[in-house]
Amino acid sequence: MKLTVVIPTLKEEANIAVCLDAFAPFRDCVETIVVDNDSPDRTREIAAERGARMFVQGPERCAQRNCGWRAASSEYVMFVDADMIVPPATMREILAALDARDAPDALYVPETRVGAGLRIRARNFERGFYDGTCIDGLRVIRRAFLERVGGFDEELVACEDWDLDRRLLAAGARTAITSGALLHNEARQDLGRFLRKKAYYATSVAAYRRKWHDDETCRRQFGLGYRFFGVFVENGKWKRLLHHPLLAFVMYFERVLVGFTYLLNR
């Protein structure tokens, strides 16, 4: 096997089948591992029917993901959520990159939100500014590097992906970014649900910031200067804001709401 896909789940019976079915055409070189947090619904049953290796682990995503990659039999591990779909073209691009003579140690894979309405369009617009920055997260990682840095820090509930990225980069991991994206289904995530999710994670952000002594990277990830302005204007990206003023307005409106949610719940 070249690649193991690790999917943490909790009550994902509505999403897991579609997520796993996307990997079916690649089963000769891709294995799937589902690590379920003791879901009371049919998540595990559906995943088992589709040939995924099953584990039960909790209480948070870090422990689930660590369980998954440690059980992996492949050289590389890809982390996705159950509400994500990897299109065939993106999957082929990932596998080709991993097979190359100068294969990277880790890959960023852009995301495209799936859903209707202006807000989803604005979130896709926003996400495009983050690719390959300190606000992005590596999604495909060489297993040897996960072993070298110890995987995810299970003491962290929030920002665990940023924390892992920083340790991987410090260990010398060579990275690349795919041109193809994966699809993230946010059709059911209205603004209220989105902000409640942000509030939940806001309470745990302090642990990540303490771990990294609130250094320059932390200030870029959470500070007003970079998170609200710098990431959107660097490297000529400001031109996109001018070309799409309505999307920029909706994006900034939501950014402000997220900022207030963080301040009220940290």
Mean pLDDT of 14-23: 96
Alpha helices in 16-152 (DSSP H): 16-21, 43-49, 61-71, 88-99, 118-130, 143-149
DSSP letter for 76, please.
E
pLDDT band at 1 (very low <50, low <70, confident <90, very high): low
| 162-190: pLDDT as tens digits | 999 999 999 999 999 999 999 998 766 67
Band of residue 59 on the pLDDT scale cut at 50, 70, 90: confident
Q: Which domains are seen in the chain, by residue range?
A: 3-188 (3.90.550.10)
Q: Give the Cα separation of 33 and 64 in Å (integer).
A: 10
**Lowest mean per-residue pLDDT among 46-60, 80-94, 196-210:** 196-210
Strand 140-142, strand 106-108: pairing: antiparallel
Q: How many CB atoms lie within 10 A of CB 142?
A: 21
pLDDT higher than threshold 80 for residue 233: yes
- CA distance readout (Å), 254 to 73, 170, 185, 232, 251: 41, 32, 18, 15, 5
Nearest-Å Rg of the Cα atoms of the chain is: 18
Q: Record the pTM.
A: 0.91
